[in-house]
C-alpha cells in the first residue's frame, strides 16, 4: 500500500516536494507514495485525523495551534523543507532604501489566503518598533487581486510569494522591497502526521526523509532550470522561464533547508510570531510538536 501524501495547497515554494515525487526520489528509497491534491490550505489536516490520508506537508503552526488547544493532540511535524519565510513585500522603489516603517505611509495589502505570512510580518514590524494593529492595510483581498491593483497604481505595496515577485519585475509593476527570508530561520513547511502514523509507518517515513534529504542536496547542486523542468507540470500556468527565475531566487536565498531536522531557532521564531499575534496562548514546545525520524538527516 502506498503512503497517501496530500499537498497543502499548490505553491511554487513547495517545489522540492513535487520534485521529490516527480523525479522518483521516493521510489529509489523503496517507498511508494500516492500524491493527492488539496482543495484549500489546511484541508489535509482533518483527513489526517480521520485516517483518510497518512501524511501531508504544511506549516508547523498548524501543529503548534493543535497542541495549544489540546496538549494531547496527536499531530506532529518532522522533516523540515522550507526553513525560511517565502513571502515578500513588493512595490515600486522610491529611490531610497525601503524600511518597514515606511508602510505606515503607504497603501499596503497583506496576504489573506493563509495566516502565517501576516503573523510573521507583524512580528518583524514589532521588532522595528511598529504596532501592527495600528498599521492601515487591506487584509481581505487575494494576492491576484492585489497584484492587479499594484499594476494599476492603486496599491503601493503588496505581500506575496513567487511568482508574483518575478512577475512584478518582468511587468514593471514593482520590485522586491523586503524579503522575509532575510530575517533568518523561520520554520515554514514540514511533513505533518499523527503520532500513531509515525509508529505505523516509521520505516516508510524514514525512507521519505532520506529521499527528501537527497532532493535538497540535488536542489543546491543543480541549476534552477533543472528544478523548474522537474516540476513544470505542476505549474502549467507559469511560463518556464518565470518559474526558473522564481526558483532561483528562492534557492539563492537559502529558502529550503540543507538538513531535514527542524531548526530550533526557526521553530521558536514562528512560535513567537503566533504568540505575539494572539493566535497562541503559550509558546509552543519543540519536543511536543516535533518528531525526529532517523534523528533527521
pLDDT of 134 strictly over 70: yes
Would residue 296 count as lying in a domain? no
Would residue 294 count as lying in a domain? no
CB neighbourhood size of 225 (10 A): 15
Question: For residues 236, 255, 112 and 239, what is the CA-based torsion angle, rounded to 10 degrees?
Answer: -20
How confident is the model at residue 6, as a pLDDT?
Answer: 96
Distance CA 248, CA 223 (A): 8
Both 80 and 201 in one domain: the answer is yes
Residue 112, all three cell numbers: 489573506
pLDDT of 194 strictly over 50: yes
Distance CA 232, CA 243 (A): 8
Q: What tens digit of pLDDT does each residue of 170-186 get?
A: 999 999 999 999 999 99
Residues 6+ apart with CB under 8 A from 87: 111, 117, 120, 121, 159, 160, 161, 180
Q: Are 198 and 205 in contact (CB under 8 A)?
A: yes
pLDDT of 296 strictly over 60: no
- Strands 157-160, 88-91: pairing is antiparallel
In the block, cell 499594476 appears at 151
The residue out of 166, 182, 198 marking a domain boundary is: 182
Give residue 164's pLDDT band: very low, low, confident or very high (50, 70, 90). very high
Q: What tens digit of pLDDT does each residue of 221-270 get?
A: 999 999 999 999 999 999 999 999 999 999 999 999 999 999 999 999 99
pLDDT of 295 strictly over 70: no
In the block, cell 521553530 appears at 267
- Range of 28's domain? 3-84+185-289
Would residue 297 count as lying in a domain? no
Q: What tens digit of pLDDT does each residue of 283-292 get?
A: 999 999 999 8
Domain containing residue 168: CATH number? 3.40.190.10
The average pLDDT across 202-211 equals 96
How confident is the model at residue 41, as a pLDDT?
Answer: 76
The residue out of 158, 182, 206 marking a domain boundary is: 182
Mean model confidence pLDDT for the chain? 95
Both 114 and 157 in one domain: the answer is yes
Would residue 284 count as lying in a domain? yes
User: Where is pLDDT greater, at 277 or 43?
Assistant: 277
How confident is the model at residue 297, as a pLDDT?
Answer: 46
The average pLDDT across 89-100 equals 91
How confident is the model at residue 120, as a pLDDT?
Answer: 98
Both 190 and 268 in one domain: the answer is yes
pLDDT of 135 strictly over 50: yes
Angle at 186 between CA 61 and CA 160, to 5 degrees: 85
How confident is the model at residue 294, as a pLDDT?
Answer: 61
The residue out of 182, 204, 233 marking a domain boundary is: 182
Give residue 94's pLDDT band: very low, low, confident or very high (50, 70, 90). confident
Give residue 65's pLDDT band: very low, low, confident or very high (50, 70, 90). very high
pTM score, two decimals? 0.95
Both 49 and 192 in one domain: the answer is yes
pLDDT of 87 strictly over 90: yes
Q: Are 57 and 8 in contact (CB under 8 A)?
A: yes
Both 194 and 285 in one domain: the answer is yes
Amino acid at each position: 500500500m502506498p503512503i497517501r501524501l496530500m499537498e497543502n495547497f499548490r505553491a511554487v515554494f513547495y517545489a522540492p516536494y513535487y520534485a521529490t515525487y516527480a523525479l522518483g526520489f521516493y521510489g529509489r528509497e523503496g517507498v511508494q507514495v500516492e500524491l493527492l491534491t488539496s482543495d484549500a490550505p489546511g484541508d489535509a489536516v482533518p483527513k489526517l485525523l480521520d485516517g483518510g490520508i497518512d501524511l501531508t506537508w504544511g506549516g508547523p503552526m498548524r501543529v503548534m495551534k493543535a497542541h495549544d488547544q489540546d496538549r494531547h493532540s496527536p499531530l506532529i511535524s518532522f522533516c523540515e523543507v522550507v526553513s525560511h519565510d517565502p513571502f515578500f513585500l513588493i512595490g515600486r522603489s522610491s529611490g531610497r532604501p525601503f524600511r518597514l516603517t515606511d508602510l505606515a505611509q503607504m497603501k499596503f495589502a497583506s496576504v489573506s489566503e493563509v495566516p502565517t505570512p501576516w503573523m510573521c510580518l507583524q512580528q518583524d514590524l514589532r521588532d522595528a518598533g511598529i504596532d501592527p494593529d495600528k498599521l492601515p492595510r487591506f487584509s481581505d483581498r487575494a494576492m491576484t487581486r492585489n497584484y492587479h491593483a499594484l499594476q494599476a497604481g492603486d496599491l503601493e505595496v503588496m505581500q506575496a510569494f513567487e511568482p508574483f515577485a518575478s512577475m512584478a519585475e518582468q511587468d514593471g509593476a514593482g520590485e522586491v522591497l523586503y524579503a522575509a527570508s532575510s530575517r533568518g530561520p523561520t520554520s515554514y513547511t514540514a511533513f505533518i502526521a499523527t503520532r500513531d502514523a509515525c509508529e505505523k509507518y516509521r520505516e516508510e517515513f524514514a525512507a521519505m526523509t532520506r529521499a527528501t534529504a537527497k532532493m535538497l542536496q540535488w536542489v543546491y547542486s543543480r541549476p534552477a532550470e533543472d528544478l523548474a523542468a522537474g516540476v513544470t507540470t505542476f505549474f502549467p500556468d507559469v511560463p518556464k522561464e518565470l518559474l526558473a527565475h522564481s526558483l532561483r531566487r528562492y534557492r539563492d536565498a537559502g529558502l529550503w533547508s540543507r538538513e531535514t531536522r527542524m531548526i530550533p531557532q526557526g521553530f521558536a521564531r514562528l512560535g513567537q510570531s503566533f504568540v505575539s499575534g494572539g493566535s497562541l496562548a503559550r509558546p509552543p514546545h519543540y519536543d511536543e510538536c516535533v518528531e525526529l525520524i532517523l534523528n533527521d538527516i
